Amino acid sequence: MAMPQLTPEQRKWWIIGIIGVLAATGIATWWGISATRGVSWDNGPFTVKDSRSVEVTFFVTNQDGKPVTCTLEAQDITHNRVGVLTVNLPASNHLTTSYTRTIPTVSKAVTGIVDSCAYR
């Protein structure tokens, strides 16, 4: 069975559709790759030192040789924030770097976590 001939009007819309699909595919690919880049972090072990401090170990990945600022948070048993510490970390070329910092608290904490990290 032979394919019917497209009229010039139909051909125009087929070309516009193909260009649109290719453009959308390119944008989606760029968006996906961009979302996987940048600094990331993982929480590590923590130690409640006393009623006024908690020591937190955390891991920062993809520093790409750039300095990073991270915000650490200590929480009490009801997940209320009882301490916050913003730390400026030096540039690192390692894939993942481990850091340990002590967060001062206003009351006893039961956990210490990384709230966020970003390039400076």
With beta carbons less than 8 A apart as the criterion, state whether 55 and 112 touch. Answer: yes
pLDDT at 36: 66
What is d(CA 24, CA 118) in angstroms, rounded to the nearest whole number? 29
Chain segment 46-105, per-residue pLDDT in tens: 999 999 999 999 999 989 899 999 999 999 999 999 999 999 999 999 999 999 999 999
- Beta-bridged to residue 99, according to DSSP, are 58
Q: Using 50, 70 and 90 to split pLDDT, how confident is the model at 120?
A: confident
Rounded to whole angstroms, what are the CA distances from 108 to 43, 44, 50, 102? 19, 19, 7, 13
The pLDDT score that the predictor gives to residue 30 is 83
